[in-house]
Amino acid sequence: MGSWRRTHTCGELRLENVGETVTLNGWVQNYRDYGGLVFIDLRDRYGKTQIVFDSAIDPAMHELARSLRSEFVVSATGKVKDRGEAKNPKLATGDIEIKATSLTLLNKSEPPPFEIGTEDEPASEEIRLRYRFLDLRRPKMQRIIMLRHQIVTAMREYLNSQRFCEIETPILGRSTPEGARDFLVPSRMHPGSWYALPQSPQLLKQILMVAGYDRYYQLARCFRDEDLRSNRQPEFTQLDIEMAFVEAEDVMNTIEGLTCHVVEKVVGREVKRPFVHIDYDDAMEKYAVDRPDLRFGLEIVDITELGHQTEFSVFKNAPCVRAINAKGAAEKFSRKNLDDITAFVMEQGAKGLAWMKVEADKLQSPISKFFSDSQQTTLRQKLNAEPGDLLFFVADKREATHGPLNALRNKLGKDLELYDPNELHFSWVVKFPMFEWNEEDKRYYAAHHPFTSPLDEDWDLMEKTPDKARAKAYDLVLNGEECGGGTIRLHQFERQMKIFELIGLDKEEQEKRFGFFLEALKFGAPPHGGIAFGIDRWVMKLAGVESIRETMAFPKTQRGQDLMMGAPSEVDTKQLRELGFDTVPVKKGSS
């Protein structure tokens, strides 16, 4: 007795507890001072409970209660009471209240810069990030952070049940250029040498396969020193998975099982299996993107040939003309809407946007006069156009049409409400190209990474037309966003060397960068492959938030700063000297 320590949380007391003497701890969410009577809403992670302080019971306690303010930390003891007529249906604990007999002030609080209890965003993101300890105290943020916890818990549950084992790999590793920019850490003991933070544990997990840990996973922190976006942070978390003695379908099956388990466990919804498979080439052709949102149709149709026959010089001269038929949308777009959407598509890099409203007897458009009657008929057939439809056209080099068309298609899908925003549509995009030609460097680059195996039947293409070769690669796509990607790896030394050659990595470079890895391949590397998921993006989707920063406890701003702790920061000269630095890099603009 006399302890301030809680007997219950602020979310659990119900009518059946009436009569019990309990102690609650928590933060003061709100106070209503009635003079002789004070009401407090006490909040913790689990909920809110109303506590009443009556001057008739203990004047000293009541006086103390009157001094409580937002976010004071208190312990209150009293009897659970039925609220009778005064129930609050908005509160899970609203049928009861605590009639306090004692109150302990555990800590005071300065008035918070924003309200903790509201569901709406209470302040600008800048203020929220600076006072992240308060922001994270908000029920809304606590729900997301807990959801994240449940997601990783469910992932571990499933993988553990499938004989996977969790193995940690180092944060301090070595730089292997190519790919994203590395974060570097200077070595004190080896002045002039640097560790690199991992962009992913790729090579180490492959080495774990060589070592015989045939089913590995890790919630791996990854680092990439590139510019930030609403879905990109310089450090993020991947669920990293690798399996030995498998082909692509084994990995995909496992991941489908994992995905279903997580979604069912966390949001209580069933996901249809098997997931749709779509070839990379088809995805690019029909949706102009390698991660199409398949919740809706709006397939893209290539009308280059027809375009060349018309008198419309833009179409006539463009290497590629592609169209989208927005079914039944003609009436929904005014001239002003069409101007807006044109501007939108041009922001995405299009040179322009042509449109036609389909009517029974004609195609209403500034450009239909350039189409002969028979061309118009062909166009209607190709696009399956019916009266009331709205056709959009983008003309450019084929690669240049992808971005604008994808953006247009996604915008139309959203604006025309062609899908249920709550649907979770998972699909696999497979058969990615092995290589991409880089015109600047006059060489091929690995499209995924250089440890990827080509399709068995495509080895023959490797010498003459490597750009036609396809990879044993698979991306997991959820509602138009890539949420995981993986490949079957090259496990034979000779074949790995072959691929390195093709991307122009000479023996010396191979040895220098990947010597340790090539060495491992010589000692009985089993066939293996794996996948990695962006955990943060999963949380975004399952929590329904638009920013990756909402899914992390302590995210960085777009300029890579932590506004709470003030990172990055300058350091003592002494620290720098120990690391072998004589001078400090000069701040931009201060020379």
Partner RNA sequence: GGGGAUGUAGCUCAAUUGGUUAGAGCACUGGACUGUCGAUCCAGAGGUUGCGGGUUCGAGCCCCGUCAUCCUCGCCA
Residues at the site binding RNA, with contacts judged by CB under 7 A: 30, 32-37, 39, 41, 50, 52, 54-56, 69-70, 83, 86-88, 90-91, 94, 97, 99, 111, 113-115, 122-127, 129, 178-181, 199-200, 202, 224, 226-230, 232, 347-349, 403, 436, 445-450, 547, 549, 557-559, 561, 563, 588-589
Task: Output the smallest distance, CB 124 to RNA, in A.
Answer: 3
Closest to RNA by CB, 171 or 367: 171
Task: Output the smallest distance, CB 91 to RNA, in A.
Answer: 6
Nearest to 390 by CA among 337, 463, 464: 337
Burial class from Cβ neighbours inside 10 Å (0-12, 13-18, 19+) for residue 162 reads: middle
Report which secondary-structure segment, H or E, holds 4. none
Closest to RNA by CB, 113 or 366: 113
Q: How far is it, in rounded angstroms, from Cα 218 to Cα 556?
A: 23
Nearest to 296 by CA among 428, 427, 426, 409: 409
Closest to RNA by CB, 224 or 261: 224
Closest to RNA by CB, 83 or 398: 83
Residue 26 DSSP code: E
What the block records as the tokens of 132 is: 């992240």
Closest to RNA by CB, 263 or 446: 446
CA 279-383-290 angle, 5° bins: 25
CB 58 within 8 A of CB 102: yes
Closest to RNA by CB, 305 or 340: 340
Nearest to 126 by CA among 567, 569, 556: 556
Task: Output the smallest distance, CB 455 to RNA, in A.
Answer: 17
What the block records as the tokens of 540 is: 């975004």
Closest to RNA by CB, 9 or 547: 547
Closest to RNA by CB, 54 or 396: 54
Task: Output the smallest distance, CB 5 to RNA, in A.
Answer: 25
Closest to RNA by CB, 50 or 325: 50
Q: Which residues of 370-407 are buried (b: 16+ CB within 10 A; e: fewer)?
A: bbeeebbebbbeebebeeebbbbbbbbebebbbbbbbb
Task: Output the smallest distance, CB 101 to RNA, in A.
Answer: 13
- Cα-to-chain-centroid distance, residue 417: 23
Closest to RNA by CB, 425 or 489: 489
Task: Output the smallest distance, CB 376 to RNA, in A.
Answer: 34
Contacts with 49 (C-beta within 8 Å, 6 or more apart), sequence order: 10, 11, 13, 24, 26, 41, 42, 91, 93, 96, 97, 98
Closest to RNA by CB, 31 or 315: 31
Task: Output the smallest distance, CB 115 to RNA, in A.
Answer: 6
CB 478 within 8 A of CB 541: yes
Task: Output the smallest distance, CB 560 to RNA, in A.
Answer: 8
Task: Output the smallest distance, CB 438 to RNA, in A.
Answer: 9
Task: Output the smallest distance, CB 154 to RNA, in A.
Answer: 26
Q: Is the dihedral of CA 434, 438, 441, 442 positive or negative?
A: positive
Closest to RNA by CB, 55 or 142: 55
Task: Output the smallest distance, CB 78 to RNA, in A.
Answer: 11
Q: How far is it, in rounded angstroms, from Cα 397 to Cα 131?
A: 48
Peptide linkage before 387 cis (omega within 30 of 0): no
Closest to RNA by CB, 313 or 590: 590
Closest to RNA by CB, 276 or 567: 567
Burial class from Cβ neighbours inside 10 Å (0-12, 13-18, 19+) for residue 119 reads: exposed
Task: Output the smallest distance, CB 37 to RNA, in A.
Answer: 4
What the block records as the tokens of 396 is: 């450019």
Closest to RNA by CB, 162 or 561: 561
Amino acid, res. 491: H
Scan for tokens 């009266």, then name that residue.
387
Task: Output the smallest distance, CB 112 to RNA, in A.
Answer: 7
CA distances from 286 to 4, 60, 157, 292, 393 (A): 65, 74, 38, 9, 14
Task: Output the smallest distance, CB 191 to RNA, in A.
Answer: 28
Residue 385 DSSP code: -
Task: Output the smallest distance, CB 203 to RNA, in A.
Answer: 8
CB 74 within 8 A of CB 68: yes
Nearest to 358 by CA among 329, 387, 338, 332: 387
DSSP string, 206-253: HHHHHTT--EEEEEEEEE--S--BTTB-SEEEEEEEEEES--HHHHHH
Peptide linkage before 319 cis (omega within 30 of 0): no
Paired with 241 in beta bridges are: 217, 531
Q: How far is it, in rounded angstroms, from Cα 343 to Cα 358?
A: 22
| Cα Rg of the chain, angstroms | 30
